[in-house]
Amino acid sequence: MSTTTTGPGRRDVLRGGLGLLAGAAVIGPLAACSNGEGAAGSTGEVAIASGHGISYAPLTIIEAQGWLDEDLPGHTVSWQILSGGSASRDGLLGGSLQAGTSGLAPYLLGWDAGVPWRIVTGLNNMPLWMVAIDERIQSLADITDADRISSPQPGSIQSMVLARAAREEFGDADRFTANLVAMPHPDALQALISGQIAAAVTSPPFQYQAEEEGARVLLDSYDVFGGPHGFNVVVALEEYAEQNPEVIEAVHANVARANELIADDPGEAARILSEAEDGEIDPERYEDYLTRDGIEFTTTPQGLEDLGAFMAEIGEIDAGPEDWRDLVFDTVAEEQGG
């Protein structure tokens, strides 16, 4: 298990290195492009970030089936497993990634700080749960200052779910900020089961696996935000997309193809996913997770305006987007997002 670290205040994280990275994004890629290298260069290398959990199922299917390799002859496609949108942001700005993945909140943090990236495609809508196993914790009111709560990273969409619930119930969005510890979802599940943390704000399938271990649901993000919302999106730098439209279009088209497979034949999708992960989750169990209530695999980004407005209200970003279409490439601008 990786070492956990106590999460600093959400505003401290945002106002620290992110601003410096944003400045580098404006200058660095433009200079690099003159040599055809760097963050926005066109080299034929297409490195794509994926992550932990069934939110990334479309990307896992694309990788396993080799669809992008077929659609992008002359390019070398590779994949990286990363945890959190900040890792993708850093990879894009540093040139080690051409397409990243991010939760909605880390994406909005970067956008607000000036990172020149946009959304290529949504991946899904998913409910995110806060779960606890300790019998002492039956509600948010039972959490003490000493209790640790996992979230993938400071400024994650999970931390925004908790902040909104805290504001609604206690009038203080920062009530649990000091409780947060940054942990990847697989590590957080094991820490929850072993009692190292009091609660986890997590995602499918880890929240379902926690429930199978006796955890109870303290929060459901669909309740907190008043309905379904997006979870993860695929992102790219504007300069790279301008130079490589065929890559951006192929990524969007293949996510749509994978989403269609999941919707039309979840059993086959589950078989591919189980095989890709060496049978760690059997196909039947995978199919159950893919078809749970509230899960929708869609390319359409949902919830950007609502989440952005909330993040602006609590001072997480300076202002939310006036129109979600300002945040996306043409690949999804005509879809019915929000």
For the chain, helix (H) and strand (E) counts, in that order, are: 16, 11
Using a 10 angstrom Cβ sphere, with 0-12 exposed, 13-18 middle and 19 or more buried, the burial of residue 197 is buried
Please check whether residues 196 and 299 belong to one and the same domain.
no
Q: What is the pLDDT of residue 96?
A: 96
Question: How far apart, in Å, are the Cα atoms of 154 and each of 10, 297, 311?
Answer: 6, 25, 13
Query: Looking at the predicted structure, is the pLDDT value of residue 25 above 70?
Result: no
Q: What is the pLDDT of residue 42?
A: 53
Q: Which domain holds residue 198?
A: 127-224
**pLDDT exceeding 90 applies to what percent of the chain?**
80
Cis omega (within 30 of 0) on the bond before 205? yes
Sign of CA dihedral 24, 50, 5, 199: positive
Question: What's the rounded Cα separation, in Å, for the pair 14 and 169?
Answer: 25
> Which residues have C-beta within 8 Å of that of residue 301, sequence separation ≥ 6?
104, 119, 122, 230, 233, 324, 327, 328, 332, 335, 337, 338
Instruction: Flag whether 163 is in a domain.
Output: yes
**Tokens of residue 303, six digits:** 């919830």
Q: Where are the beta strands (DSSP E) in the chain?
A: 5-6, 45-50, 76-81, 100-103, 117-122, 129-132, 149-151, 180-182, 199-201, 216-220, 232-237
Query: Looking at the predicted structure, is the pLDDT value of residue 11 above 60?
Result: no
Query: Looking at the predicted structure, is the pLDDT value of residue 27 above 50?
Result: no
Query: Looking at the predicted structure, is the pLDDT value of residue 29 above 60?
Result: no
Last residue of a domain, one of 198, 224, 250: 224
Last residue of a domain, one of 196, 224, 252: 224
3-state class of 312 per DSSP?
Answer: helix
Please check whether residues 192 and 272 belong to one and the same domain.
no
**pLDDT exceeding 70 applies to what percent of the chain?**
87
Number of domains in the chain: 2
Please check whether residues 18 and 47 belong to one and the same domain.
yes
Predicted TM-score (pTM) of this structure: 0.86
Instruction: Flag whether 4 is in a domain.
Output: no
Query: Looking at the predicted structure, is the pLDDT value of residue 13 above 50?
Result: no
Alpha helices, DSSP H, located in 139-282: 157-170, 185-194, 206-212, 221-224, 238-243, 245-264, 266-276
Q: What is the pLDDT of residue 22?
A: 41
Cβ 297 vs Cβ 257: under 8 Å: no
Q: What is the pLDDT of residue 1?
A: 33
Query: Looking at the predicted structure, is the pLDDT value of residue 35 above 60?
Result: no
Q: Which amino acid is at 98?
A: Q
Instruction: Flag whether 2 is in a domain.
Output: no
CATH number at residue 298: 3.40.190.10
Q: Which amino acid is at 172?
A: D
DSSP per-residue letters across 245-290: HHHHHHHHHHHHHHHHHHHH-HHHHHHHHHHHTTTSS-HHHHHHHH
Which tens digits make up the pLDDT trace of 195-204?
999 999 999 9
**Tokens of residue 171, six digits:** 């009038």
Which tens digits make up the pLDDT trace of 68-105?
999 999 999 999 998 778 899 999 999 999 999 999 99
**Tokens of residue 58, six digits:** 């479309």
Q: What is the pLDDT of residue 278?
A: 87
Query: Looking at the predicted structure, is the pLDDT value of residue 23 above 50?
Result: no
Cβ 203 vs Cβ 55: under 8 Å: yes
pLDDT greater at residue 208 or residue 26: 208
Query: Looking at the predicted structure, is the pLDDT value of residue 32 above 50?
Result: no
Query: Looking at the predicted structure, is the pLDDT value of residue 223 above 80?
Result: yes
Q: What is the pLDDT of residue 21?
A: 42
Which tens digits make up the pLDDT trace of 239-270?
999 999 999 999 999 999 999 999 999 999 99
Q: What is the pLDDT of residue 277?
A: 87
Query: Looking at the predicted structure, is the pLDDT value of residue 38 above 70?
Result: no
Q: What is the pLDDT of residue 84?
A: 77
3-state class of 185 per DSSP?
Answer: helix
Instruction: Flag whether 314 is in a domain.
Output: yes
Q: Give the mean pLDDT of the chain.
A: 88
Please check whether residues 255 and 290 belong to one and the same domain.
yes
Q: What is the pLDDT of residue 236?
A: 98
- 14 — pLDDT class (breaks 50, 70, 90): very low
Q: What is the pLDDT of residue 4?
A: 32
Q: What is the pLDDT of residue 43?
A: 62
Last residue of a domain, one of 204, 224, 244: 224
- 153 — pLDDT class (breaks 50, 70, 90): confident
Instruction: Flag whether 5 is in a domain.
Output: no
Question: How far apart, in Å, are the Cα atoms of 18 and each of 50, 71, 180, 269, 299?
Answer: 21, 34, 19, 37, 27
